[in-house]
Homo-oligomer: A and B are copies of this chain.
């Protein structure tokens, strides 16, 4: 209803995490979900977060999105507090689950953020249709979520996050539910989009090869208390193609990530 809200693209994309900590009060005491995490993400970077279940990846993403308030440390998103960044619609968030609105068809699900942000009517439709084409679902624009498979639903939610063209993308295991071929296809699309639009992407995944393939840097985390175990720079040429997977540099990076992951991954504590 208000029209004074800033359009997302007007802000930068850098994220700065300093000594960040997050403690949840729980029944049996406290859960330290994140401890003393520091990380500088430059505008236009593609960062992957990888780590065992329950290590705080989602927590870190939610902190950046101002869906949680840190219990210690400092966090700046696009040069502002997370709250300001959120209020400026600086980021798009893709949740672990699709979280579609059952009563809206695919097209109008993708148009939801555009409605909330008061985009002009014609633009909404045009943008939403473009995004659906990107994720290969233009034929399903009039379908309702229940008529789609889990993987298709997740693709809709990606289209929705991209629709309002935010400078930052926060993506929580967006491709977890997809089969390998579809996944590879979407990986390529995501990379192209990232290159073309110079967005900052923070991407959570369980797949080492996916992390390495996509990222400029891979952040490896350890479980309870969630900590950043190390950061692996990925020195692969841009733009990346499928063949990059077979290069020694790819292997090297993947091996480094694997080793960091192994460190401190006691099998028992894994969830």
| A interface residue numbers (CB < 8 A to B) | 51-54, 136, 139, 148-149, 151-152, 178-182, 185, 206-208, 246, 251, 261-262, 265, 267-268, 270-271
* Whole-angstrom CA separation of A251 from B250 in the bound complex: 14
Taking CB atoms, residues of chain B closer than 8 Å to A151 are 53, 270-271
Say whether A271 contacts B207, CB under 8 Å: no
Extra contacts, 19 of them, besides A52-B179, A52-B181, A136-B267 (Cβ < 8 A), are A53-B149, A53-B151, A53-B179, A139-B268, A148-B271, A151-B270, A152-B271, A178-B206, A179-B206, A179-B270, A180-B208, A181-B261, A181-B262, A181-B265, A181-B270, A182-B267, A182-B270, A185-B267, A246-B251
Taking CB atoms, residues of chain B closer than 8 Å to A185 are 267
The quantity of this chain's copies bound in the complex is 2
* Whole-angstrom CA separation of A261 from B251 in the bound complex: 23
Interface pairs (27), CB distance under 8 Å: A51-B179, A52-B179, A52-B181, A53-B149, A53-B151, A53-B178, A53-B182, A54-B149, A136-B268, A136-B270, A139-B268, A148-B271, A149-B271, A151-B270, A151-B271, A178-B206, A179-B206, A180-B206, A180-B207, A180-B261, A181-B261, A181-B262, A181-B265, A181-B270, A182-B267, A182-B270, A246-B251
* Whole-angstrom CA separation of A181 from B139 in the bound complex: 38
Shortest Cβ distance from residue A250 to the other chain B in the assembled complex, whole angstroms: 12
